[in-house]
Every structure is written in structure tokens, then in C-alpha cells.
Structure 1
Amino acid sequence: MQQRRWFLRVLLWRQGIKETPNGSFYKVKYKNLITEEDEPEPLIEIISADELRPMPPKSLPVLFLLHDKVDAFDNDGWWIGKITGRRGNLYSVYFETTNEVLEYPLCRLRRHLDWVNGDWVSSATRQQ
């Protein structure tokens, strides 16, 4: 299973820079990823339109419950996981694809949202 993660990107050009039978492609610049050159710069690459998402809506920090699906900010990206416990101000998050449990403070967690038909939808809402 492939680990899904999301990185903050800035769209450089609105028009597709390349049209193919597989869709449109866009040039993006990453906010948190840099090139591995002598003078590092923000990474720029071309990605397909179906990989682009607007920022999820901002939400106030909430207390998470056991088994809540969350996104954890780590290694410059947002990773999907599940709450497995809490110790003081730290939440334990299990990542299925790597079979790891890591701890995060509340400020590095957000409720997971799925991109469905052009809208951000919470996993709990989708199941109803």
C-alpha cells in the first residue's frame, strides 16, 4: 500500500502547461521542500492536475479520541494516521503503511479530511 502524504505547494501557472490524454499538468513550487543543490531553493516540479488540492479549511485544535483519523505534520508533509493513545500533551499516531506509532503534540495534528467531488469532507461525515 502506498503511503499518502500531502505537501504545501504554490501553483505557479494557472493554465495547464501540458495537455495529454491523461489530463492537464501544472508547474508548482513547494513551500517546505528544497532542492539538493549548493544553494538550496524551493523545489519546483510539474504534477498532474488530479494531484492538486486547495488548502483544507482551517479548523480550531480539537481533542482527538481513540481511533480518530488524523493528518500528522512530519518530514515537511501531512501523513494520514490514526490516534492510538494519549500521554499528557502528546498523541500516539499509528501509520498503517509503515506500521509505526509516533507521538505528536496537538499543534502538529489536524482532523483528516478527504477530497470528494471537489469538496473537503470529514471521514465521519462520509460514513453517514
Structure 2
Amino acid sequence: MEEVHFSKGSEVEISSDDDGFRGSWYSATVLRSVSKKKKFFVEYQSLMVDEKGSKPLREFVDAVHVRPRPPRELDRSFKLSEEVDAFHNDGWWEGVVIDVFENSRYSVFFRGSREQIKFQQSDLRLHREWVDGSWIPPLEEHMEAKSGKKTLKIKFSKGKLTAKFSEGAVVEVSSDEEGFQGAWFTATIISTIGNDKFLVEYHSLKTDDETKPLREEADALHIRPSPPETPMVDSFSRLEEVDALYNDGWWVGVIAKVLSNSRYIVYFRNTKEELELGHSELRLHQDWIDGKWVRASQV
């Protein structure tokens, strides 16, 4: 990824690798840079040093976790299945619109937590990725909306939809382990363990001695049906969201560049990496939401 120099006073956004905060971005101002260590000293605009909110939090952050403030359209409405950033808990979190209501309200699904929350239009923005020094997709209008400071208190819903799987069903299983977030691994249901757990056998993951397929218990919230086959496409387009078969699992990414001979550069948000992959190693990305498959729009 292309490194950007930020001068004192630059308005930026900061990401975090801490558990529970991955995938979120927080607005901050650069106070100074430490070029030799590739770090910036920043002051957050919404994070405070204590619960009283006596003063803004300041800290050193690695340059790889810093990006410019994304552009934002004026008074933009959103469509079903459109990818957005939602302002929640003092930061911007990536989600997908799964329902549109009256009075400019939307229901947003968050893949990481598998939860749904309702937001006002003013607390949403079109999701963008900072790739090679430019925003994908680019700004739709020439004017950028002025950000207003608003607080929206929302309670997470306790109820989550879980599916019932029979023995022998082919499924995909996700993981919360470090380095595996966002990936789905194909497996078969071996048996049911209680109400919300299953014994699964992976198709591509092996035991430590590589002699047989790995079996383990998986929580129902980390299991989804095997995605339905989508119509065969001759080629993928730039900015299209895909799943890439890599390291024995399917990882969600974005087509950053279309190459010749059915090859593509795919950008992965979680790791901020780019890989060159072939057409046969990609599939159209879909999300399992409320018991049905949803095809996300282009990001």
C-alpha cells in the first residue's frame, strides 16, 4: 500500500487491531509525525482519556493504521444491499444495508458481530477503501458534506437468528481467531452438540500431523449454509466485491485492478494486502443475512 505523509493539523482516520475494534475507524488530528519510526502522534476527536470526557485521547499510531478522512456526499440516500460505514460507539463501522424504512432510516447488518442496528441517514456514509493513494469508489459529487457532531444511542439486539443444520450438510465455518477473521472454511456437519454447537469436519484443514481432516466444535453463530452457485461470469469488474480462495478458505476482497489473461489484483480490507489471483480462484461475494443470501452491491 502506498504510504502517505500527513502534516501537522491533517484530519485523518485511525484503525485498530485490538479485539472488538477491528474494522472500525476513528477521526483524529495529526499533532506531529515521527518519520524514522513511521508513526504519527494524533489526537482523537471522539475518544476521550476517561469516562468523564475531560480531554481527548492522544497516542502514537503506526502509519499503516492511518488514512486520510474519506470524502462524503451531501444528503445521500442508500439502497438495499449497499455497503456503508455507520457511526456507532464513537467510530465508523463497515456494514451492509438490509432494510430501508421511512423517514430516512436504515437497518444495517455488521458481518463481524452478525448484528443489526437501525440508523438515521445522517449517521451513514458510503463505504470506501483507501487503495494505492486513491478512494474506491471515488466521490460521486464535487462537494463534500460537512460532518456534524451527533450522538446516537443504540442498544444491540439480544436476539440473533441461528440456523439448524442436519448431519451431512455442507456448510461454511468462520473463526474469531487471530489472523483468520473474515475467512470462511468449507466443512461438513458431523453431529449436533446441544442447541447451538455442532461437530464439523473441514474439507481443506488438516490435523497437526496432516494425516486426516480437522474436526472441531463450532458455535452456530459461526456456521452458515454453503453459498448457492451464482451465474458464471466471464470476468469480474474493478471495485466488484468477491470471495477469494486463499490459504484453504474464502476471504472477502475487492477487485482493485483487472489484468490480462483473466487475472486480477484483489485488495483485502482486514489485512490491507493485495494479491494477484486467477478467475477460477474467485466467486461473487454474498452475505447470509436473516436466513437468506444477499448479494452486496459494488463497494
TM-score range normalised by the length of the shorter chain: 0.7 to 0.9
Trace 1:68-79 onto structure 2 (pairs within 5 A).
Answer: 68-79=82-93
1:65 is matched with which residue? 79
Determine if the alignment matches structure 1 residue 83 to structure 2 residue 74.
no
- TM-score scaled by structure 2? 0.38
Q: Is the 8 A contact 1:61 1:110 kept in 2?
A: no
User: Partner of 1:10 in structure 2?
Assistant: 29
Structure with higher Rg: it is: 2
Higher deviation after alignment, 54-63 or 115-124: 115-124
Question: How far apart, in 2, do the equivalents of 1:11 and 1:37 lie?
Answer: 23
The one-letter code of the counterpart of 2:126 is: R
Does the C-alpha gap of structure 1 residues 125 and 58 become closer, same or farther in structure 2, counting only changes over 3 Å? farther
* Aligned partner (choices 30, 55, 64) of residue 41 of structure 1: 55
Higher RCO (CA 8 Å, separation ≥ 6 residues) = 1
Alignment of 1:113-124 (within 5 A): 113-122=128-137
Who is 1:108 aligned against? 123
What is the one-letter code of the residue matched to 1:113?
R
CA RMSD between the two structures: 2.3
Q: Tell me by how many angstroms 1:38 deviates.
A: 6.7
Runs (4+) of structure 1 moved beyond 3 Å?
A: none
Any conservation in 2 of the 1:82–1:94 contact (CA below 8 Å)?
yes
Over the matched positions of the two proteins, sequence identity in percent amounts to 33
For residues 109 and 53 of structure 2, the distance between their equivalents in structure 1, rounded to whole angstroms, comes to 36
Where 2:106 maps in the other structure, the secondary structure is strand
| Mapped partners of 2:122, 2:53: distance in 1 | 31
Q: In 1, Cα distance between the equivalents of 2:97 and 2:61?
A: 31
Secondary structure class of the residue paired with 1:45 = strand
Structure 1, unaligned runs of 5 or more: none
